[in-house]
Amino acid sequence: MWNKVKKQQAVDLRLKQPLYKHWILAMVLLLSISGVSNVLASSDLVMEKVYHIYLEEEFIGTVEDEDDYLVFLEKLLEEEQERHSGLTFDFKETIGVIPEFVFIKNANTEQTKEKLAELLTIKAVATALVIEEDEVVYLAEQAAVSQLKKQIVLEQVEEEAFEVYVHSLQEENLLKTNEEETVSTSSSSESDEREPVHTSEKNDTELELELDEKLINSVSFTTDVESKQVLISPEKVKTVEEAMEEIEQGKENQFYYEVKEGDVLGTIASEMNVSIKELLELNEDLDKESVIRAGDKLQIKTLEPYLEIEVVEHSKVEEELDFDIEVKEDSSLFKGEEKVERKGTPGLQHVEYKTVRLNGEMVEREVLNKQVIEEPVSEIVIKGTKERSELAWPADGGYISSHQGKRWGRYHKGIDIARPNSYSIYAAESGTVTAVTSGGGYGNYIRIRHDNGLETLYAHLNSTSVQAGQSVTRGQQIGIMGSTGDSTGIHLHFEVTRGGSLLNPIDYLP
């Protein structure tokens, strides 16, 4: 920097702009001296040049050698650069240099240097990433800021897809440049109307995607993002990795939440995405047992993202097409029974989507095109329409050998089923076994309470295969037909009750 400015009459070393006030003063002095020198041309007096140093337009002192003065300033910067490798430095203050021709040198060079060393503030030259007018992080150079912005974007998109997108933009810019050059060299007789140049966002119809391909259509920061050069303390300059961590952490946002009816600390913490511990630390007048009321205000601190990135991408994927289900009725099947006559097969289609994401979260999805590759095959289901009795037949075939009613001078509480195909006995309906008992007139018997409110009893069994408290299903084998208790032959005595009242089994059996 210094070798570029040392020949100037007055220099703003920070902004590298002339100090016009001092420049005018220097010219006046030079003109005056020029006039005097003509008068004294024949004399032995010799005029010599000195340099007056100003800091923020305040006179500091005079030096007699400009090169020595500039070397001194360079050394101050070099010493700082040695302490902070990888950074460049400059002075925060504006330094002015005014030359003057004098007959007698009255420079105080060393005192001027000492005063400059004491008063000058040396800062690192850095590039600030500015988000919504706030300087968020500082990096050593503009290239580092560009690298940081790329890493931020790569948190939202795949690197390969992003590189393809950047390459396409470069090709479009080249095409735009060629089009502009063509227009600029055209003859004046041609029409002034130009073909529209390509932009970074392609029309949906221009895209030709392969299956499972994803192309980025546009990437943009919806927040205001820029960079600028600043002078700051070197301790504040971060590497790209450190800056990325700070950006990912987000910025603090403190506000007050007004308690609504029905709110408790736990629901508020969950809704605000903070822990109850954090909530109590921010509101010291509360503890876990505190009662909050509607209208109370709680201080909340959350972390919000610094940046909002919008990514528009196009993709082409293969998706299944749902098959329809056709239903046929069959009177030979009971209601609730069904079987699949033909299994359905999904179809296939290729779908092109335009997807908009904000910070990785999908906010919009539009179907651009669909192409059916394979039609689905509908499934055919047969459903029964036959009315089912409330209870299933409890034996393997057989016939009713004795009905409910008066018999041999006593009331017969149920029905008897005899001559079955086999001696297996089945639960007439799903339910819970309430009793498995032996002895007495019933001999070995089982009692089952069903979900429909009915209760059934199975008596004179030879053996049982369930236990009290066990759940059984309709048609499950529960025992073997026998002739235990007051019985004259092998048969099943079957009773049905509801709420303790005896019912006629014939009304509930098929």
In tens, the pLDDT along 186-224 reads: 433 333 333 322 334 555 555 678 898 889 999 999 989
DSSP conformation class of 117: H
CA distance 403 to 182: 108
Helix ranges (H only) for 218-318 are 240-249, 265-272, 276-282
Token pair 């329809």: residue: 324
Q: What is the pLDDT of residue 47?
A: 87
Partners of 14 in the β-ladder: none
161, 357 in Cβ contact below 8 A? no
Write the pLDDT tens digit of every residue in 49-93: 999 999 998 999 999 999 999 999 999 999 999 999 999 999 999
**What top-level class would CATH report for the domain 312-386?**
mainly beta
CA–CA separation, 176 and 171 (whole Å): 9
**Six token digits for residue 361:** 């979260």
- Cα Rg, the chain, nearest whole Å: 48
11 phi and psi, to 5 degrees?
-135, 135
Which ranges of 370-489 would DSSP assign to H, the alpha helix? Answer: none
Instruction: Report whether 382 contacts 352 (CB < 8 A).
Output: no
The helix/strand/coil state of 357 is strand
Q: How crowded is residue 330: how many other Cβ atoms within 10 Å of its Cβ?
A: 15
Strands 88-91 and 122-131, by their bridges, are: antiparallel
One-letter amino acid for residue 167 of the chain = H
Is beta strand 325-334 parallel, antiparallel or unpaired with respect to 379-386?
parallel
The structure tokens listed for 333 are 């099947």
For 170-235, what is the HEC assignment?
HHHHHHHHHHHHHHHCCCCCCCCCCCCCCCCCCCHHHCCCCCCCEEEEEEEECCCEEEEEEEECHH
Measured over all CA atoms, what is the biggest interatomic distance in the chain, rounded to whole angstroms?
A: 169
Secondary structure class of 296 (helix, strand, coil): coil
The reported pLDDT for the residue numbered 336 is 78
CB 482 within 8 A of CB 444: yes
CA atoms within 13 A on the CB side of 345: 7
Which CATH architecture fits 395-507? Distorted Sandwich (2.70)
- Sheet of 58-63: strand order equals 58-63, 48-55, 95-102
Which one, of 459, 467, 466, lies nearest residue 490 by Cα?
459
Let me know: does 457 contact 485? Beta carbons within 8 Å: no
CA-wise closest residue to 350 among 366, 369, 364: 369
| pLDDT at residue 173, as a whole number | 75
Q: Are 183 and 278 in contact (CB under 8 A)?
A: no
- Tally DSSP H helices, then E strands, for the chain: 9, 29
Sign of the dihedral defined by the CA atoms of residues 231, 232, 235, 236, in that order: negative
Give the pLDDT of residue 203.
55
**pLDDT by residue for the chain (510 residues), tens digit each?**
443 333 333 333 333 333 333 333 444 344 444 444 454 444 556 789 999 999 998 999 999 999 999 999 999 999 999 999 999 999 999 999 999 999 888 899 999 999 999 999 999 999 999 999 999 999 999 999 999 999 999 998 888 888 888 888 887 777 666 656 544 444 333 333 333 223 345 555 556 788 988 899 999 999 899 999 999 999 999 999 999 999 999 988 889 999 999 899 989 998 888 888 989 999 999 888 888 999 999 999 988 899 999 999 999 999 999 999 999 999 888 777 889 999 999 999 999 999 999 998 999 999 999 999 999 999 999 998 877 678 999 999 999 999 999 988 889 999 999 999 999 999 999 999 999 999 889 999 999 999 888 999 999 999 999 999 999 999 999 999 999 999 989 999 999 999 999 999 998 998
Domains 312-386 and 395-507 share a fold: no
Instruction: Yes or no: say if 93 and 53 are a contact pair by the CB < 8 Å rule.
Output: no
Give buried/exposed letters for 353-367 (b at 16+ CB in 10 A, else e). Answer: bbbbbeeeeeeeeee
Q: How far apart are CA 389 and CA 398, in angstroms?
A: 18
Q: What confidence score (pLDDT) does residue 193 get? A: 34
pLDDT score, position 414: 96
What are the sequence ranges of the domains in the chain? 2-120, 312-386, 395-507
Alpha carbon distance 252, 269 (integer Å): 16
Query: Which class for 99: exposed (0-12), middle (13-18), buried (19 or more C-beta within 10 A)?
Result: middle
- Cα 75 to Cα 85, 262, 449, 454, distances in angstroms: 15, 69, 101, 104
Classify 110 as helix, strand or coil. helix
Contact 134, 120 (CB under 8 A): no
Do 176 and 197 touch, CB atoms closer than 8 A?
A: yes
User: Cα–Cα distance between 169 and 163 in angstroms, integer?
Assistant: 10
